[in-house]
Amino acid sequence: MTVPPAEHATAQHGAAPPPGCPAHTATGTGGATRLYGPAASTDPMGLYEELRAAHGPVAPVLLDGDVRAWLVLGYLENRDVASRPTQFSRDPRVWHGWRSGEIDPATSPLVPMIGWRPDCVCADGEEHQRLRGAVTAGLSQFDHRGIRRHITRFAHQIIDTFCESGEAELVGQFTEHLPMLTLTHLLGMSEEAGPGLVHAARDLFKATETSLASNAYVLESLERLVVAKRSRPGHDIASALMAHPANLTDEEVQHHLRLILLAGYETTANLMSNVLRMVVTDPRFRGSLAGGQMTLPEAVEQVLWDEPPLMVCPGRWANGDTTLGGQQIKAGDMLLLGLAAGNVDKAIRPDSSTPVHHNRAHLSFSAGTHECPGQDIGRIIADAGIDILLTRLPDIALAVPEKSLTWRSSTWARHLTALPVNFAPRAPKALDVPAPLPAPPVQSNGMPTAPPRTATGPGTPRVPEPRVSWRTRIGRLLRRR
pLDDT digit string, tens, across residues 380-436: 999 999 999 999 999 999 999 999 999 988 899 999 999 999 999 999 986 544 444
Cβ neighbors of 100 (< 8 A, separation 6 or more) are none
Direct distance between the N- and C-terminal alpha carbons of the chain, in angstroms, rounded to an integer: 44
pTM of the complete model: 0.81
Nearest alpha carbon to residue 177 among 147, 155, 145: 155
Average pLDDT rounded to a whole number, residues 448-459: 41
Asked if 70 and 318 count as a contact pair (C-beta separation under 8 A), the reply is no
Average pLDDT rounded to a whole number, residues 77-87: 96
d(CA 408, CA 417): 6
| DSSP for residue 321 | -
3-state SS, residue 327 = strand
Average pLDDT rounded to a whole number, residues 132-154: 93
> For 88-92, 104-108, 232-236, which range has the lowest pLDDT when averaged over its residues?
104-108
> For 39-43, 121-125, 161-165, 438-442, which range has the lowest pLDDT when averaged over its residues?
438-442
Confidence band, pLDDT 50/70/90 cuts, at residue 211: confident
**Residue 360: pLDDT over 70:** yes
Asked if 78 and 337 count as a contact pair (C-beta separation under 8 A), the reply is yes
Q: Which pLDDT does position 39 carry in this prediction?
A: 76
Q: Which pLDDT does position 22 carry in this prediction?
A: 41
Average pLDDT rounded to a whole number, residues 241-248: 96
Q: Which pLDDT does position 444 carry in this prediction?
A: 46
DSSP secondary structure, 35-101, as one string:
SSSHHHHH-HHHHHHHHHHHH-SEEEEEETTTEEEEEE--HHHHHHHHT-TTTEES-GGG-THHHHT
Average pLDDT rounded to a whole number, residues 318-325: 97
Give the number of other Cβ atoms within 10 Å of residue 467's Cβ: 10
Average pLDDT rounded to a whole number, residues 258-263: 90
> Which residues sit opposite 89 in a β-bridge?
317
**Residue 447: pLDDT over 60:** no
> For 202-206, 367-371, 422-426, which range has the lowest pLDDT when averaged over its residues?
202-206
> For 13-27, 249-263, 355-369, which range has the lowest pLDDT when averaged over its residues?
13-27
**Residue 24: pLDDT over 70:** no
> For 98-107, 348-357, 438-447, which range has the lowest pLDDT when averaged over its residues?
438-447
**Residue 12: pLDDT over 90:** no
Confidence band, pLDDT 50/70/90 cuts, at residue 453: very low
**Residue 215: pLDDT over 90:** no
Confidence band, pLDDT 50/70/90 cuts, at residue 319: very high
> For 219-233, 238-252, 310-324, 440-454, which range has the lowest pLDDT when averaged over its residues?
440-454
Nearest alpha carbon to residue 184 among 213, 206, 151, 214: 151
**Residue 356: pLDDT over 60:** yes
d(CA 238, CA 253): 7
Confidence band, pLDDT 50/70/90 cuts, at residue 467: very low
**Residue 346: pLDDT over 80:** yes
**Alpha-carbon dihedral of residues 61, 62, 63, 65, nearest 10 degrees?**
180
Average pLDDT rounded to a whole number, residues 221-231: 93
* Single-letter amino acid, residue 126: E
Asked if 368 and 83 count as a contact pair (C-beta separation under 8 A), the reply is yes
d(CA 160, CA 165): 10
Q: Which pLDDT does position 306 carry in this prediction?
A: 95
Nearest alpha carbon to residue 386 among 107, 148, 212: 148
**Residue 208: pLDDT over 80:** no
Strands 397-398 and 420-422, by their bridges, are antiparallel
**Residue 8: pLDDT over 90:** no
Q: Which pLDDT does position 267 carry in this prediction?
A: 92
Confidence band, pLDDT 50/70/90 cuts, at residue 196: confident
CA-CA-CA-CA torsion sign (283, 284, 286, 292) = positive
Nearest alpha carbon to residue 267 among 209, 217, 159, 339: 339
Strands 334-338 and 67-72, by their bridges, are parallel
Q: Which pLDDT does position 35 carry in this prediction?
A: 94
> Which residues sit opposite 18 in a β-bridge?
none
Give the number of other Cβ atoms within 10 Å of residue 443's Cβ: 10
Nearest alpha carbon to residue 374 among 198, 237, 233: 237
d(CA 347, CA 420): 37
Phi and psi torsions of 479, nearest 5°: -70, -20
